[in-house]
Structure 1
Amino acid sequence: MKKLKVLLLTCLIGFSASSCFDDMDDNIVSSVEIKDFIWKSMNYVYLYKSEIPDLADDRFTSSSEYVDYLDSYSSPEDLFASLKYLPTEVDRFSGIYSNYYDLQNLLSGTTLSNGMEYNLYYVPGSQTEVFGVITLVLANSPAESLGLQRGQIFRAINGENLSINNYTTLLSATSYTLNFADYDDNGTTETTDDDTLSLSNVNASLTKVSYTENPVHKTEILTIGGSTVGYLMYNGFTSDFDNQLNAAFGEFNAAGISDLIVDLRYNGGGSVQTAAYLGSMVTGQFTGQVYSKLFYNENLANNDTDYLFTNTINGGGSINSVNLSRVYVLTSERGTASASELLINSLKPYIEVVVIGENTVGKTQASRTVYDSPTLFSDTEANPSHTYALQPLIANSTNVDEELVPSTGMVPDILISESATNLGILGDVNEPLLAEALAHISGSGRSVNQPEAAALKTVKLPISALEQDMHID
């Protein structure tokens, strides 16, 4: 991979940055200095620079005009927001962070978490009351230590029933007590025939802790007919765990798998390089060929990069490749994004990729952390007067044929959604999405284990930019 060149950020508008601040007292410098860092960084690296008039190189004719412009924004966050291109349609993903240490932790997989992930649904017959269903219990987390299970239903927090108005406050607390419930479907698969929920008098008290997730959540070796099938639930392209990912493929190699199912339904993305490693592990017969491409804006065009299929991990030895010509990928509408979509898009020109699940998010852009330092992309010389950093979109990712992931997402070959009342056990042959893949592998047609005909209405939970991130290491 070609590394980004070291860049010395200059004012780019015909006047010295220092001249803007020579006569200001220290307090004003602190505020304007951060905004100056934001504008200059976005002017130089932002993927959609040409679409934002305020980022034009000739936008300002004098230092005083520039300072007045910066001063017109009440905060660094407001300035940054004004520079994003179509933030509700195109750039939903660029972010600004007041403490880059927190950002670094997030990118390495460390968050404040109790280890329980969930979906929320409207109570049947209500437009305001909601309930939760646990979708994932993370390994070695507080939730796992309490014995929580995927598929458990909770109706209240601290004795207060969940609603569309209070769930954010209740579930964002550091500590809370889950109040579980039983779901009565009246013996039918329909959800509109007076299905009911009732509290079960079972509770669990959870506290969030600093938690680092190993994204290799689960591996299984399954024997289906005459096929040995590998199953991998992979929840984040986190470069700190590349060796653990490679070890999973060592297990698949040792088992001699003939088919592979990669479960990305809860994988919002991560490292572009890790995505290239995973593509190389799935295959192995294309070493040295182009896996994906990155295209930057006009300022950084010299840094356009080809990622290659490879047989080694940087500093980690040889890649365990399974040399397959077909792979199955499980997806979801909310959870499968960016680097997950990159994997699908980049493998499709080379092998058969069978996508099972829901339409994916539709994110094709990559970001990188930008610091207030001479080299932009390194924190070692960052301005000591503040800890702001940016995570802007700086490049578009394509496959070898220069095809982008559609902004509307990738359409599955087999459409199937998770059922709130029949989630199944991850890695179990009867879990609905896995069963669908196994039915396709065995040639037995559609799985008989299908979700309910009338699905429960899902609450659209807010998603942070980093939950659907694809970044350049």
Structure 2
Amino acid sequence: MNVKKWLFLFVAVSTMLTSCTDQDDNLFSVPANIEVQDFVWKGLNLWYFWQGEVTDLADSKLDDAEGYIAFLQSFPNPADLFEHLNHPDDRFSVIVSDYDALQDSQQGTSDTDGADISYIFLNSGSNEVVGYVRYIIPGSDAASKDIRRGDIVYAVNGQSLFFNSETDNNLDLLDANSYTFNLADLTINSGVRSITPNGRNIDLTKSNITENPILINTTFDVGAKKVGYIMYNQFVSNFDTQLNGVFADFEGQGVTELILDLRYNPGGFVSSAINLGSMVTGQFDGQLFTKFRYNDKIQPQLTDEQENRYFRNTLSTGAAINSLGLTKVYVITTGSSASASELVINSLDPYIDVVQVGATTRGKNEASVSLYDSPSWTFTDDQLNPNHKWAMQPLISRLENSAGFSNYTDGLNPEVELSEDLTNLGVLGDETEPLLAAALANIAAAGRSLNFNSNKNIPIDLITDTKLRRITADRMYIDLKVGDSDDALQNHKVIINE
């Protein structure tokens, strides 16, 4: 199974079809059997970040109607055309044949058994795969079964997991609606992991669940300091009010230090990321949070509101944001921290001291847009093509912070480096859990250098995880503002990928 990762965010953008190109002079009909391919090419020709660098996306392609139609017909599968038109530097653009499933996932809802699991190579150089349970979603099937954080899954339905490549693996066993996880005990000897089946077999069934991204929120007393801690697992705008309530509680308790645990957060709404950054601070209202860079067709058309995002003091509901006014924040990260998580770190960095604890993040600093086959490219368009359900999410933009920094495709590196230890994952939210303990120790030391032995843990070679296997994966969503006359692309869905 292809484990390509993605990520998304909601956006409104201005109409560019007529203003960006001279294609109005090249209008012609295409045969019905290539209408999806036509949608793919025209969408990428307008929006794709690398449009000017992909020969087969040149505007001149439309100068020859017969040649254009023949080109599209050479790709009977629209997905093959999409892949053909991708730039070599593009790691995350994606096309889907069923936008219903995509939209369900965008609402934070998915079919899940409730066991959030990271799938890794048992050892470096091996094709053997094991999964370790990161946490259990409350109210799920897994929550009612004998499975918990730290359990090791070595097989599904009795078949040992393996991964040779994205096209040669058996992780599609996880796609079924129900299955049996076969568990094992893990030991490490001289730096080599080994597993021993322990006879525990857990039957699980998926159900449609909306996961609350706020898994844990609590406070700790470190000397005279009141430390707030929140484990936040996805930027979902439907939970912004609840997130704001957590910060109201922190403010009421007099929190002076904050630990954001984003270790398993793959991304989400840009608007939620801005809200979170504004809750952490509060003293930068109206100042630049992040800037988006587009291709040469889109960029000249943008207003300041469409191109830039700013710190704010209210939610979209009009409710005041509860802010802590901090000048320093601790952020726990792993290789599963991506997109909007990285956006928060990178966007806060020019303004306050951001102390990153854990491992290097994934490295996602590009945006993509959800495009549908309609005149306005939107799903809500009355003229949405009823003949198919294809949609695509091409990369359209790169993000940079107020200092102009955007070069983190290799991830953001921690100041306090400490990987998760599969033999000692600890209890999430407990002050003895290793990564949380490291952050608390740094707070107690008032920033003095501490010696954490980051080499004692064997590196975790991540293949995928439960969240990355969802359609939305590691996306983040933004809201672009449009003028009154820009109604062709209002309510457009844009996705921050990478």
Unaligned runs of 5+ in 1: 22-27
Distance change (3 Å), C-alpha of 1:125 and 1:106: closer
Equivalent AA in structure 2 for residue 362 of structure 1: G
Secondary structure at the residue paired with 1:169?
A: helix
Q: 1:178-198: CA deviations, max 9, x gaps?
A: 222223457xxx433xx6533
Secondary structure at the residue paired with 2:131?
A: strand
Match in the other structure for 2:147: 148
Match in the other structure for 2:486: none
Deviation at 1:344, TM superposition (A): 0.6
Structure 2 residue 291 is the aligned partner of structure 1 residue 289: no
Match in the other structure for 2:102: 103
Match in the other structure for 2:463: 460
Equivalent AA in structure 2 for residue 49 of structure 1: Q
Of 260, 263, 267, the residue aligned with 2:261 is 263
Q: 1:179-223: CA deviations, max 9, x gaps?
A: 22223457xxx433xx65333232221011222222112111111
Asked whether the equivalents of residues 336 and 360 of structure 1 are also in contact (C-alpha less than 8 Å), the reply is yes
Structure 2 residue 383 is the aligned partner of structure 1 residue 384: no
Asked whether the equivalents of residues 364 and 409 of structure 2 are also in contact (C-alpha less than 8 Å), the reply is yes
Give distance in 2, aligned partners of 1:124 and 1:297: 42
Secondary structure at the residue paired with 1:368?
A: strand
Asked whether the equivalents of residues 267 and 340 of structure 1 are also in contact (C-alpha less than 8 Å), the reply is yes
Equivalent AA in structure 1 for residue 253 of structure 2: A
Map 1:19-168 to 2 at 5 A: 19-21=28-30, 28-29=31-32, 31-86=33-88, 90-123=89-122, 127-164=126-163, 167-168=170-171
Deviation at 1:60, TM superposition (A): 3.7
Map 1:196-345 to 2 at 5 A: 196-301=194-299, 302-303=301-302, 304-333=306-335, 335-345=336-346
Distance change (3 Å), C-alpha of 1:12 and 1:384: farther
Equivalent AA in structure 2 for residue 472 of structure 1: I
Deviation at 1:153, TM superposition (A): 2.0
Asked whether the equivalents of residues 182 and 202 of structure 2 are also in contact (C-alpha less than 8 Å), the reply is yes
Match in the other structure for 1:181: 184
Q: 1:315-368: CA deviations, max 9, x gaps?
A: 2511111111101111112x1111111111100111000011111121111122
Structure 2 residue 8 is the aligned partner of structure 1 residue 5: no
Distance change (3 Å), C-alpha of 1:55 and 1:423: same
Deviates most, 48-57 or 113-122: 113-122
Higher RCO (CA 8 Å, separation ≥ 6 residues)? 2
Structure 1-normalised TM-score? Answer: 0.89
Distance change (3 Å), C-alpha of 1:121 and 1:92: closer
Distance change (3 Å), C-alpha of 1:213 and 1:396: same
Equivalent AA in structure 1 for residue 358 of structure 2: G
RMSD value, Cα: 2.6
Distance change (3 Å), C-alpha of 1:9 and 1:71: farther
Distance change (3 Å), C-alpha of 1:451 and 1:131: farther
Unaligned runs of 5+ in 2: 1-9, 480-498
Asked whether the equivalents of residues 183 and 197 of structure 2 are also in contact (C-alpha less than 8 Å), the reply is yes
Identity %: 39
Asked whether the equivalents of residues 269 and 340 of structure 1 are also in contact (C-alpha less than 8 Å), the reply is yes
Asked whether the equivalents of residues 50 and 87 of structure 2 are also in contact (C-alpha less than 8 Å), the reply is yes
Of 424, 427, 430, the residue aligned with 1:425 is 427
Match in the other structure for 1:191: 191
Give distance in 2, aligned partners of 1:76 and 1:232: 43
Match in the other structure for 2:495: none
Distance change (3 Å), C-alpha of 1:454 and 1:431: closer
Equivalent AA in structure 2 for residue 151 of structure 1: G
Deviation at 1:61, TM superposition (A): 2.3
Asked whether the equivalents of residues 358 and 414 of structure 2 are also in contact (C-alpha less than 8 Å), the reply is yes
Give distance in 2, aligned partners of 1:107 and 1:399: 25
Equivalent AA in structure 1 for residue 364 of structure 2: K
Give distance in 2, aligned partners of 1:327 and 1:201: 44
